[in-house]
Chains A and B, each alone.
Chain A
Protein backbone atom coordinates (compact mmCIF):
# COMPACT_ATOMS: atom_id res chain seq x y z
CA UNK A 1 0.00 0.00 0.00
CA UNK A 2 3.02 2.28 -0.01
CA UNK A 3 2.43 3.17 -3.67
CA UNK A 4 2.46 6.71 -5.06
CA UNK A 5 -1.24 6.20 -5.81
CA UNK A 6 -1.96 5.59 -2.14
CA UNK A 7 0.06 8.56 -0.91
CA UNK A 8 -1.51 10.89 -3.48
CA UNK A 9 -4.92 9.90 -2.23
CA UNK A 10 -3.88 10.38 1.39
CA UNK A 11 -2.47 13.77 0.47
CA UNK A 12 -5.71 14.83 -1.18
CA UNK A 13 -7.83 13.53 1.69
CA UNK A 14 -5.64 14.98 4.44
CA UNK A 15 -6.37 18.46 3.12
CA UNK A 16 -10.01 17.93 4.11
CA UNK A 17 -9.74 15.36 6.86
CA UNK A 18 -8.49 16.47 9.30
CA UNK A 19 -6.84 19.71 8.15
CA UNK A 20 -9.82 21.38 6.46
CA UNK A 21 -12.18 20.45 9.25
CA UNK A 22 -9.67 21.70 11.79
CA UNK A 23 -9.43 24.98 9.87
CA UNK A 24 -13.20 25.45 10.13
CA UNK A 25 -13.31 24.57 13.84
CA UNK A 26 -10.37 26.90 14.46
CA UNK A 27 -12.15 29.83 12.78
CA UNK A 28 -15.32 29.04 14.66
CA UNK A 29 -13.54 29.14 17.98
CA UNK A 30 -11.76 32.37 17.05
CA UNK A 31 -15.16 33.82 16.43
CA UNK A 32 -15.83 33.60 20.14
CA UNK A 33 -13.98 36.89 20.17
CA UNK A 34 -17.09 38.42 18.64
CA UNK A 35 -18.82 37.69 21.94
CA UNK A 36 -16.24 39.58 23.88
CA UNK A 37 -12.88 39.18 25.49
CA UNK A 38 -14.09 37.02 28.34
CA UNK A 39 -15.90 34.58 26.09
CA UNK A 40 -12.75 34.19 23.98
CA UNK A 41 -10.52 33.64 26.98
CA UNK A 42 -12.92 31.10 28.43
CA UNK A 43 -13.06 29.26 25.11
CA UNK A 44 -9.29 29.12 24.91
CA UNK A 45 -8.90 27.78 28.42
CA UNK A 46 -11.63 25.21 27.81
CA UNK A 47 -9.72 24.03 24.73
CA UNK A 48 -6.49 23.92 26.63
CA UNK A 49 -8.06 21.83 29.36
CA UNK A 50 -8.97 19.01 26.96
CA UNK A 51 -7.39 15.72 28.13
CA UNK A 52 -4.59 14.29 25.98
CA UNK A 53 -4.43 17.63 24.20
CA UNK A 54 -0.92 17.10 22.87
CA UNK A 55 -1.81 13.66 21.45
CA UNK A 56 -4.80 15.16 19.69
CA UNK A 57 -2.75 18.06 18.40
CA UNK A 58 -0.10 15.69 17.13
CA UNK A 59 -2.53 13.28 15.45
CA UNK A 60 -5.07 15.65 13.98
CA UNK A 61 -2.98 18.73 13.39
CA UNK A 62 0.77 18.40 13.23
CA UNK A 63 1.33 15.04 11.57
CA UNK A 64 -1.28 15.59 8.84
CA UNK A 65 -0.08 19.17 8.28
CA UNK A 66 3.57 18.21 8.00
CA UNK A 67 2.74 15.32 5.68
CA UNK A 68 0.46 17.49 3.53
CA UNK A 69 3.12 20.19 3.30
CA UNK A 70 6.08 17.94 2.51
CA UNK A 71 4.24 15.80 -0.01
CA UNK A 72 2.76 18.98 -1.46
CA UNK A 73 6.20 20.44 -2.07
CA UNK A 74 7.01 17.29 -4.02
CA UNK A 75 3.82 17.74 -6.07
CA UNK A 76 4.77 21.35 -6.81
CA UNK A 77 8.18 20.15 -7.95
CA UNK A 78 6.54 17.71 -10.39
CA UNK A 79 4.70 20.50 -12.17
CA UNK A 80 5.83 22.80 -14.92
CA UNK A 81 3.25 25.56 -15.12
CA UNK A 82 2.24 26.99 -18.47
CA UNK A 83 -0.48 29.55 -17.71
CA UNK A 84 0.97 32.10 -20.09
CA UNK A 85 0.68 29.77 -23.08
CA UNK A 86 -2.52 28.02 -22.08
CA UNK A 87 -4.38 30.71 -20.15
CA UNK A 88 -7.51 28.74 -19.39
CA UNK A 89 -9.46 29.41 -16.22
CA UNK A 90 -8.79 25.97 -14.76
CA UNK A 91 -5.12 26.15 -15.59
CA UNK A 92 -4.90 29.42 -13.68
CA UNK A 93 -6.59 27.88 -10.67
CA UNK A 94 -4.23 24.91 -10.93
CA UNK A 95 -1.31 27.35 -10.86
CA UNK A 96 -2.80 29.42 -8.03
CA UNK A 97 -3.35 26.21 -6.06
CA UNK A 98 0.43 25.86 -6.00
CA UNK A 99 1.10 29.53 -5.32
CA UNK A 100 -1.37 29.59 -2.42
CA UNK A 101 0.13 26.34 -1.17
CA UNK A 102 3.49 27.99 -0.68
CA UNK A 103 2.02 31.16 0.83
CA UNK A 104 -0.11 29.07 3.19
CA UNK A 105 2.89 27.01 4.20
CA UNK A 106 4.94 30.06 5.18
CA UNK A 107 1.94 31.64 6.86
CA UNK A 108 1.03 28.58 8.91
CA UNK A 109 4.61 28.01 10.08
CA UNK A 110 4.83 31.63 11.20
CA UNK A 111 1.37 31.56 12.76
CA UNK A 112 2.04 28.35 14.69
CA UNK A 113 5.42 29.61 15.82
CA UNK A 114 4.13 32.92 17.14
CA UNK A 115 0.78 31.91 18.56
CA UNK A 116 1.27 28.32 19.58
CA UNK A 117 4.90 27.40 20.13
CA UNK A 118 6.23 30.69 21.36
CA UNK A 119 3.52 30.47 23.98
CA UNK A 120 3.46 26.79 24.56
CA UNK A 121 7.20 26.80 24.99
CA UNK A 122 7.82 30.14 26.59
CA UNK A 123 4.77 29.80 28.78
CA UNK A 124 2.86 32.94 27.81
CA UNK A 125 -0.82 32.49 28.38
CA UNK A 126 -2.85 32.81 25.18
CA UNK A 127 -5.44 35.45 25.81
CA UNK A 128 -7.41 38.04 23.94
CA UNK A 129 -4.92 40.72 24.91
CA UNK A 130 -1.95 38.63 23.84
CA UNK A 131 -3.43 37.83 20.42
CA UNK A 132 -4.46 41.38 19.78
CA UNK A 133 -1.00 42.64 20.70
CA UNK A 134 0.52 40.13 18.30
CA UNK A 135 -1.81 41.12 15.46
CA UNK A 136 -2.07 44.85 15.93
CA UNK A 137 1.02 45.89 13.98
CA UNK A 138 -0.27 47.04 10.56
CA UNK A 139 2.25 44.94 8.67
CA UNK A 140 1.27 41.85 10.65
CA UNK A 141 -2.37 42.57 9.95
CA UNK A 142 -1.74 42.81 6.22
CA UNK A 143 0.30 39.61 6.22
CA UNK A 144 -2.50 37.89 8.11
CA UNK A 145 -5.08 38.98 5.57
CA UNK A 146 -2.89 37.67 2.74
CA UNK A 147 -2.13 34.45 4.61
CA UNK A 148 -5.76 33.82 5.47
CA UNK A 149 -7.02 34.48 1.96
CA UNK A 150 -4.37 32.15 0.52
CA UNK A 151 -5.32 29.47 3.03
CA UNK A 152 -9.03 29.74 2.27
CA UNK A 153 -8.48 29.75 -1.49
CA UNK A 154 -6.18 26.74 -1.25
CA UNK A 155 -8.71 24.85 0.83
CA UNK A 156 -11.71 25.73 -1.34
CA UNK A 157 -10.02 24.93 -4.64
CA UNK A 158 -8.42 21.85 -3.12
CA UNK A 159 -11.87 20.67 -2.16
CA UNK A 160 -13.01 21.05 -5.76
CA UNK A 161 -10.03 19.02 -6.91
CA UNK A 162 -10.54 16.39 -4.21
CA UNK A 163 -14.08 15.79 -5.43
CA UNK A 164 -12.64 14.88 -8.83
CA UNK A 165 -9.63 12.97 -7.59
CA UNK A 166 -11.85 10.75 -5.49
CA UNK A 167 -14.20 10.24 -8.40
CA UNK A 168 -17.16 12.00 -6.80
CA UNK A 169 -17.85 14.67 -9.42
CA UNK A 170 -17.49 13.11 -12.86
CA UNK A 171 -19.40 15.04 -15.49
CA UNK A 172 -18.63 18.61 -16.56
CA UNK A 173 -21.87 19.87 -15.07
CA UNK A 174 -21.30 18.23 -11.71
CA UNK A 175 -17.81 19.71 -11.66
CA UNK A 176 -19.19 23.14 -12.44
CA UNK A 177 -21.79 22.90 -9.67
CA UNK A 178 -19.05 21.78 -7.29
CA UNK A 179 -17.06 24.85 -8.29
CA UNK A 180 -19.93 27.10 -7.16
CA UNK A 181 -20.20 25.22 -3.88
CA UNK A 182 -16.45 25.59 -3.32
CA UNK A 183 -16.67 29.28 -4.14
CA UNK A 184 -19.35 29.48 -1.47
CA UNK A 185 -17.06 27.72 0.99
CA UNK A 186 -14.36 30.27 0.19
CA UNK A 187 -16.71 33.20 0.70
CA UNK A 188 -18.03 31.86 4.01
CA UNK A 189 -14.52 31.19 5.33
CA UNK A 190 -13.48 34.66 4.23
CA UNK A 191 -16.39 36.34 6.01
CA UNK A 192 -15.92 34.34 9.21
CA UNK A 193 -12.13 34.68 9.14
CA UNK A 194 -12.02 38.41 8.44
CA UNK A 195 -14.75 39.10 10.94
CA UNK A 196 -12.78 37.35 13.68
CA UNK A 197 -9.55 39.05 12.66
CA UNK A 198 -11.26 42.45 12.76
CA UNK A 199 -12.06 42.07 16.47
CA UNK A 200 -8.39 41.68 17.38
CA UNK A 201 -7.03 44.72 15.57
Chain B
Protein backbone atom coordinates (compact mmCIF):
# COMPACT_ATOMS: atom_id res chain seq x y z
CA UNK B 1 0.00 0.00 0.00
CA UNK B 2 2.41 2.70 -1.12
CA UNK B 3 -0.09 4.52 -3.25
CA UNK B 4 0.47 8.26 -3.26
CA UNK B 5 -1.87 11.12 -4.02
CA UNK B 6 -0.56 14.20 -5.79
CA UNK B 7 -1.75 17.60 -4.67
CA UNK B 8 -1.01 20.90 -6.32
CA UNK B 9 -1.80 23.61 -3.84
CA UNK B 10 -1.97 27.35 -4.34
CA UNK B 11 0.01 28.93 -1.57
CA UNK B 12 0.40 32.43 -0.30
CA UNK B 13 2.21 33.53 2.82
CA UNK B 14 0.08 36.59 3.53
CA UNK B 15 -2.37 38.84 1.68
CA UNK B 16 0.44 40.99 0.27
CA UNK B 17 2.70 38.17 -0.91
CA UNK B 18 2.53 36.70 -4.41
CA UNK B 19 0.99 33.29 -4.63
CA UNK B 20 2.62 30.20 -6.15
CA UNK B 21 1.74 26.56 -6.71
CA UNK B 22 3.42 23.84 -4.69
CA UNK B 23 3.19 20.12 -5.30
CA UNK B 24 2.83 17.52 -2.54
CA UNK B 25 2.73 13.74 -2.46
CA UNK B 26 0.58 12.32 0.28
CA UNK B 27 0.40 8.61 1.25
CA UNK B 28 -3.01 7.19 0.39
CA UNK B 29 -5.30 5.49 2.83
CA UNK B 30 -8.79 4.34 2.18
CA UNK B 31 -11.76 6.70 2.62
CA UNK B 32 -9.46 9.71 2.97
CA UNK B 33 -10.74 13.16 2.11
CA UNK B 34 -9.06 16.45 1.32
CA UNK B 35 -8.95 17.54 4.96
CA UNK B 36 -7.27 14.32 6.06
CA UNK B 37 -4.73 14.77 3.26
CA UNK B 38 -4.04 18.31 4.44
CA UNK B 39 -3.52 16.90 7.93
CA UNK B 40 -0.89 14.54 6.51
CA UNK B 41 0.88 17.53 4.95
CA UNK B 42 0.71 19.31 8.29
CA UNK B 43 2.35 16.33 10.00
CA UNK B 44 5.09 16.12 7.41
CA UNK B 45 5.47 19.43 5.54
CA UNK B 46 7.72 18.25 2.74
CA UNK B 47 6.88 19.07 -0.87
CA UNK B 48 7.10 16.73 -3.86
CA UNK B 49 10.70 17.76 -4.52
CA UNK B 50 11.64 16.62 -1.01
CA UNK B 51 12.12 20.12 0.35
CA UNK B 52 10.94 20.98 3.82
CA UNK B 53 8.32 23.72 3.58
CA UNK B 54 5.78 25.46 5.77
CA UNK B 55 2.65 23.41 6.48
CA UNK B 56 -0.31 24.40 4.35
CA UNK B 57 -2.82 26.52 6.27
CA UNK B 58 -6.53 25.77 5.90
CA UNK B 59 -9.69 26.14 7.90
CA UNK B 60 -12.04 23.46 9.14
CA UNK B 61 -14.28 22.82 12.03
CA UNK B 62 -17.23 20.42 11.95
CA UNK B 63 -15.75 17.87 9.50
CA UNK B 64 -19.26 16.91 8.45
CA UNK B 65 -20.27 19.62 6.01
CA UNK B 66 -22.34 21.71 8.35
CA UNK B 67 -20.09 24.64 9.23
CA UNK B 68 -18.77 25.78 5.87
CA UNK B 69 -15.33 26.71 7.21
CA UNK B 70 -13.40 24.32 4.97
CA UNK B 71 -14.82 25.67 1.69
CA UNK B 72 -12.20 26.01 -1.06
CA UNK B 73 -11.66 25.44 -4.76
CA UNK B 74 -11.02 21.77 -5.45
CA UNK B 75 -10.01 21.12 -9.03
CA UNK B 76 -11.23 24.60 -9.84
CA UNK B 77 -14.70 24.33 -8.35
CA UNK B 78 -16.03 25.47 -5.04
CA UNK B 79 -16.84 22.81 -2.44
CA UNK B 80 -16.20 21.67 1.13
CA UNK B 81 -12.90 19.90 1.60
CA UNK B 82 -14.12 17.78 4.53
CA UNK B 83 -16.66 16.05 2.33
CA UNK B 84 -14.46 15.83 -0.76
CA UNK B 85 -13.47 12.17 -0.94
CA UNK B 86 -10.12 11.50 -2.57
CA UNK B 87 -11.46 8.38 -4.30
CA UNK B 88 -13.92 10.52 -6.21
CA UNK B 89 -11.48 13.23 -7.32
CA UNK B 90 -9.47 13.46 -10.49
CA UNK B 91 -5.74 13.62 -9.87
CA UNK B 92 -3.56 15.60 -9.47
CA UNK B 93 -5.88 17.37 -7.06
CA UNK B 94 -5.64 21.12 -7.27
CA UNK B 95 -6.52 23.13 -4.17
CA UNK B 96 -6.91 26.89 -4.18
CA UNK B 97 -8.50 29.43 -1.87
CA UNK B 98 -11.87 31.04 -2.62
CA UNK B 99 -11.49 34.03 -4.92
CA UNK B 100 -14.37 36.21 -3.78
CA UNK B 101 -13.14 36.73 -0.23
CA UNK B 102 -9.99 38.40 1.14
CA UNK B 103 -7.14 35.94 1.46
CA UNK B 104 -5.61 35.30 4.87
CA UNK B 105 -3.03 32.63 4.11
CA UNK B 106 -2.78 29.63 1.76
CA UNK B 107 -6.30 28.16 1.69
CA UNK B 108 -7.71 30.36 4.44
CA UNK B 109 -9.94 33.28 3.51
CA UNK B 110 -11.90 35.77 5.57
CA UNK B 111 -15.65 35.18 5.05
CA UNK B 112 -16.59 38.06 7.33
CA UNK B 113 -18.55 39.76 4.53
CA UNK B 114 -21.09 36.90 4.66
CA UNK B 115 -21.90 37.78 8.25
CA UNK B 116 -21.79 41.50 7.60
CA UNK B 117 -24.39 40.96 4.86
CA UNK B 118 -26.61 39.00 7.23
CA UNK B 119 -26.54 41.88 9.64
CA UNK B 120 -27.20 44.39 6.83
CA UNK B 121 -30.53 42.68 6.18
CA UNK B 122 -31.30 42.01 9.89
CA UNK B 123 -31.40 38.26 9.36
CA UNK B 124 -32.61 37.45 12.87
CA UNK B 125 -35.85 37.36 14.82
CA UNK B 126 -36.21 40.04 17.46
CA UNK B 127 -37.46 38.45 20.63
CA UNK B 128 -35.55 40.40 23.26
CA UNK B 129 -37.73 42.55 25.46
CA UNK B 130 -38.17 43.62 29.04
CA UNK B 131 -41.35 41.65 29.51
CA UNK B 132 -42.60 38.15 28.88
CA UNK B 133 -43.94 38.03 25.34
CA UNK B 134 -45.83 34.78 25.84
CA UNK B 135 -45.54 31.64 23.73
CA UNK B 136 -44.55 32.00 20.10
CA UNK B 137 -47.18 31.86 17.37
CA UNK B 138 -48.09 28.64 15.59
CA UNK B 139 -46.40 28.04 12.26
CA UNK B 140 -48.17 26.03 9.55
CA UNK B 141 -46.50 22.77 8.58
CA UNK B 142 -45.92 23.94 5.03
CA UNK B 143 -44.12 27.10 6.16
CA UNK B 144 -42.05 25.01 8.55
CA UNK B 145 -40.94 22.70 5.77
CA UNK B 146 -39.79 25.56 3.56
CA UNK B 147 -38.13 27.25 6.52
CA UNK B 148 -36.22 24.08 7.31
CA UNK B 149 -34.70 24.04 3.83
CA UNK B 150 -33.57 27.65 4.18
CA UNK B 151 -32.29 27.17 7.72
CA UNK B 152 -29.68 24.69 6.50
CA UNK B 153 -27.48 27.52 5.21
CA UNK B 154 -24.02 27.33 6.77
CA UNK B 155 -22.72 30.65 5.33
CA UNK B 156 -20.06 28.66 3.49
CA UNK B 157 -19.90 31.20 0.66
CA UNK B 158 -20.11 28.69 -2.21
CA UNK B 159 -23.00 30.63 -3.71
CA UNK B 160 -21.00 33.86 -3.55
CA UNK B 161 -17.99 32.19 -5.12
CA UNK B 162 -19.99 30.87 -8.09
CA UNK B 163 -22.05 34.02 -8.65
CA UNK B 164 -20.78 36.07 -11.61
CA UNK B 165 -22.32 39.18 -10.10
CA UNK B 166 -20.36 38.88 -6.85
CA UNK B 167 -16.92 40.35 -7.48
CA UNK B 168 -14.72 43.29 -6.68
CA UNK B 169 -16.58 45.54 -9.13
CA UNK B 170 -19.94 44.93 -7.54
CA UNK B 171 -21.42 45.41 -4.08
CA UNK B 172 -23.92 42.56 -4.44
CA UNK B 173 -24.66 40.94 -1.08
CA UNK B 174 -25.16 37.57 -2.76
CA UNK B 175 -27.77 34.81 -2.57
CA UNK B 176 -27.27 33.51 0.99
CA UNK B 177 -28.35 36.69 2.76
CA UNK B 178 -31.38 36.99 0.47
CA UNK B 179 -32.50 33.45 1.31
CA UNK B 180 -32.12 34.23 5.00
CA UNK B 181 -34.49 37.19 4.61
CA UNK B 182 -36.95 34.73 3.10
CA UNK B 183 -36.46 32.46 6.11
CA UNK B 184 -36.88 35.13 8.76
CA UNK B 185 -39.75 36.88 6.98
CA UNK B 186 -41.62 33.58 6.77
CA UNK B 187 -41.62 33.36 10.57
CA UNK B 188 -44.65 35.10 12.14
CA UNK B 189 -42.51 36.88 14.73
CA UNK B 190 -39.77 37.67 12.25
CA UNK B 191 -42.40 39.07 9.90
CA UNK B 192 -42.98 41.94 12.32
CA UNK B 193 -39.84 43.54 10.86
CA UNK B 194 -40.55 42.36 7.33
CA UNK B 195 -40.55 45.81 5.79
CA UNK B 196 -37.22 46.73 7.32
CA UNK B 197 -35.60 43.69 5.68
CA UNK B 198 -37.23 44.34 2.34
CA UNK B 199 -35.96 47.92 2.39
CA UNK B 200 -32.48 46.63 3.20
CA UNK B 201 -32.69 44.30 0.19
CA UNK B 202 -33.69 47.28 -1.94
CA UNK B 203 -30.56 49.17 -0.95
CA UNK B 204 -27.23 49.34 -2.72
CA UNK B 205 -25.85 45.93 -3.65
CA UNK B 206 -29.25 44.44 -2.88
CA UNK B 207 -31.49 41.95 -4.57
CA UNK B 208 -31.78 43.88 -7.85
CA UNK B 209 -28.12 43.09 -8.56
CA UNK B 210 -29.08 39.46 -9.19
CA UNK B 211 -28.82 38.68 -12.90
CA UNK B 212 -30.43 35.22 -12.77
CA UNK B 213 -27.37 33.19 -13.72
CA UNK B 214 -28.65 30.73 -11.08
CA UNK B 215 -25.23 29.22 -10.36
CA UNK B 216 -25.87 29.65 -6.64
CA UNK B 217 -28.52 26.99 -6.50
CA UNK B 218 -26.37 24.60 -8.55
CA UNK B 219 -23.36 24.84 -6.23
CA UNK B 220 -25.10 25.13 -2.86
CA UNK B 221 -24.01 22.02 -0.92
CA UNK B 222 -27.15 22.27 1.20
CA UNK B 223 -29.41 22.29 -1.86
CA UNK B 224 -31.15 25.42 -0.68
CA UNK B 225 -33.78 26.66 -3.18
CA UNK B 226 -31.98 29.97 -3.55
CA UNK B 227 -33.49 31.03 -6.87
CA UNK B 228 -36.96 30.53 -5.45
CA UNK B 229 -36.18 32.76 -2.49
CA UNK B 230 -34.70 35.38 -4.79
CA UNK B 231 -37.73 35.39 -7.10
CA UNK B 232 -40.08 35.47 -4.12
CA UNK B 233 -38.30 38.47 -2.68
CA UNK B 234 -38.17 40.08 -6.11
CA UNK B 235 -41.94 40.06 -5.93
CA UNK B 236 -42.03 41.33 -2.36
CA UNK B 237 -39.53 44.14 -2.99
CA UNK B 238 -41.24 45.18 -6.23
CA UNK B 239 -44.58 45.45 -4.42
CA UNK B 240 -42.89 47.22 -1.54
CA UNK B 241 -41.35 49.66 -4.01
CA UNK B 242 -44.60 50.39 -5.84
CA UNK B 243 -46.98 50.53 -2.88
CA UNK B 244 -44.43 52.13 -0.59
CA UNK B 245 -44.11 54.95 -3.07
CA UNK B 246 -47.83 55.25 -3.65
CA UNK B 247 -48.37 55.42 0.10
CA UNK B 248 -46.00 58.32 0.61
**Across-interface contacts of B241 in A (CB, < 8 A):** 5-6, 9
**Closest Cβ–Cβ distance, residue A92 to chain B (whole Å):** 9
Kindly identify which residue among B77, B203, B218, B238 contacts A166, using a CB–CB cutoff of 8 Å: B238
Knowing A94-B213, A165-B212 touch, does A5 contact B237 (C-beta < 8 A)? yes
Complex Cα spacing A81 to B166, Å: 10
Task: Check B164 against A94 for contact (C-beta < 8 Å).
Answer: yes
The minimal Cβ–Cβ distance linking B186 to chain A, given in whole angstroms, is 14
A79-120 interface bits toward B, Cβ cutoff 8 Å, 1 = contact, 0 = none:
111100110101100110100000000000000000000000
Chain B contacts of A166 at CB under 8 A? 234-235, 238
Alpha-carbon gap, A171 to B230, bound state (A): 10
Query: Mask for B165-198, Cβ within 8 A of A = 1, else 0?
Result: 1010110100000000000000000000000000
Chain B's interface size range is 35 or more
Contact check, A88 vs B232: say whether CB atoms are below 8 A apart.
no
Determine if B167 and A9 form an interchain contact, defined as CB atoms under 8 angstroms apart. Answer: no
Is A46 at the interface (CB under 8 A from chain B)?
no
Q: Chain A residue with minimal CB distance to B214?
A: A90
Q: Specify which of B231, B236, B245 is in contact with A164 (CB 8 Å cutoff).
A: B231
Contacts of B214 in A (CB 8 A): 88, 90-91, 94
Flag if B213 contacts A4 (CB, 8 Å): no
B152 at the interface (CB under 8 A from A): no
Which range holds the interface residue count of chain A? 20 to 34
Given known A78-B209, A94-B211, A164-B234, contact A4–B204 (CB-CB < 8 A) = yes
**B164 lies within 8 A of A82 (CB):** yes
Known A-B contacts A75-B211, A81-B164, A94-B213; the reply to A167 vs B235 at CB < 8 A is yes
Query: Does A1 make an interface contact (CB < 8 A)?
Result: yes
Asked if A91 contacts B234 (CB within 8 A), the reply is no
Question: Cβ of B215 < 8 Å from any Cβ of A?
Answer: yes
Residue of B167, B215, B228, B245 with most chain A CB atoms under a 10 A cut-off: B215
B160 within 8 A of A: no
Asked if A86 and B202 sit within 8 Å, CB to CB, the answer is no
Which residues of A are found within 8 Å of B210, using beta-carbon distances?
Answer: 165
**Bound form: Cα–Cα A8–B162 in Å:** 22
A49 within 8 A of B: no
| A161 touches B (CB below 8 Å) | yes
Taking CB atoms and an 8 Å cut-off, the chain B residues in 217-248 that contact chain A are 218-219, 225, 227-228, 230-239, 241, 245
